[in-house]
Amino acid sequence: MKDRSILSVAVLCALVFIGSTGCAHLHGHGESWSSINQAVAVMHPTLDSNTRGTVTFTQVSGGVYISANIEGLNPGAMHAIHIHQYGDARDPKGKSAGGHYNPQNHPHAGPAAAMRHAGDLGNLEADSTGRAHYERLDTQISIAGLKNPVIGRGVIIHAGADDLTTQPTGAAGARIAIGVIGVAKPAN
């Protein structure tokens, strides 16, 4: 019980300190969260998978431009891609990433739907070598802004296609790759 009290006081002190120094600034760099305009998720295979790649997020006028390059997929198959609630990759099967990122409590749907999970990105289509390239402008998320920020969340690639209708996940199957969305190094 004493340890909880000490922890509670430490957390409260940290929150007061952050609030007094301006939590909008990133530690030691003078940047504000709102100035982050590019993020990246490096995709790592989950247990018994060889799927890997990168997913980049670039804040642009009108939304976030998403670009993914993934390899190790089933040749010629469709694979779901979603932003998940947590950027937690500790579970070897990707389960620690939680469910789809859904801050507005909408039903699961395709990426073009007006009312969908913020994390519903649709499907990747693998070519005959098991590689897929994905691009789209998403108007329902931001990188680190006020509208459904994705920084620090997880990206999951699934073994199967998202059928875009089955609730709450699209019946996409196992998680075969996971990445955490982090601040990208600015291009020189």
Active site residues: 82, 84, 100, 108, 117, 120, 158, 175
Q: Is 40 helix (H, G, I), strand (E, B) or coil?
A: strand
Q: Hey, how many other C-beta atoms are within 10 angstroms of the C-beta on 39?
A: 24
The DSSP code for 118 is T
Residue 151: which of 67, 57, 69 has the closest Cα? 57
Token pair 């020189």 in the structure block, residue:
188
Q: How far from 88 is each of 39, 61, 85, 156, CA to CA, in Å?
A: 16, 29, 9, 11
Rg (CA), the chain: 18
Token pair 């089955």 in the structure block, residue:
166
